[in-house]
Amino acid sequence: MIDNVDLISRWLHMLAAMAAVGGTLFMRLALLPATAQLSPEAREPFLQAVRSRWAKVVMTAILLLLVSGLYNISRKEVTYQVSPLYHALFGIKFLLALGIFFLASALVGRAEAYAAIRRQAGKWLVVNLLLAVLVVCVSGVLRQIELERKPATPGAPQRSAFRTSNIPTCVPAAARLARLPPGTACRATQGYT
């Protein structure tokens, strides 16, 4: 059965990441080269206007990524037995994401302390894009790590991928079906639902 909150959280996470990374790519490959042709008197006010509008998108994306990401990992912890490798890779992904959030905030912010970063925006946008590529790579590895579902708590309602009661509960989920040895139809004693 599809959990609507989990699905919405996943969608929000992906949409926020797409918006943030897509905007960064646009700024580096289109906006900065186009504004380089403007005079400094015209370029700075224009870039400031773009930054002030883009800052709202960046801050919203950061908030959505943090909230949905922490929700997603907490659900993973509740549902699966998460290995130390998974924790380590998630920690790396989270630290990379914090680096992305810092650079994105510094690039769109107004604080004088980060004016040097804004003056070299082209370089820092490339760094941010490289960090985003690393996050995507680590995320891909995380998706490939097989996790064991935690055993059901006695007395807790059982969630099944099937809604009809006439289907035996020992039918393996489609994702597990390919891993069964030839001639095996059911392994209910090992927790397949």
Residue 42 has pLDDT above 70, yes or no: yes
**Between residues 6 and 163, the one the model is more confident about:** 6
Whole-model pTM: value is: 0.75
Report pLDDT for 158. Answer: 54
Report pLDDT for 163. Answer: 40
**15's tokens:** 């949409």
Q: Among residues 32, 99, 21, which one has the least CA distance to residue 61?
A: 21
Could you give the CA distance from residue 58 to residue 36 in angstroms, rounded to a whole number? 23
H or E element at residue 76: helix 40-79
Could you give the CA distance from residue 181 to residue 193 in angstroms, rounded to a whole number? 17
Pairing of strands 148-149, 80-81: antiparallel
Query: pLDDT per residue over 141-191, tens digit each?
Result: 999 999 999 887 776 655 544 343 444 444 444 444 455 455 555 444 444
Report pLDDT for 92. Answer: 97
**Residue type at 123 in one-letter notation:** K
| Chain position carrying tokens 């891993």 | 179
In degrees and rounded to multiples of 5, residue 148 shows phi and psi of: -85, 135
Angle between helices 40-79 and 84-108 (to 10 degrees): 160
- Averaged pLDDT score across all residues of the chain: 84
User: What are the boundaries of each domain within the chain?
Assistant: 4-149, 162-193
Name, in order, each residue with C-beta under 8 angstroms of 18's C-beta and a sequence gap of 6 or more.
none
Residue 103: pLDDT band (50, 70, 90) is very high
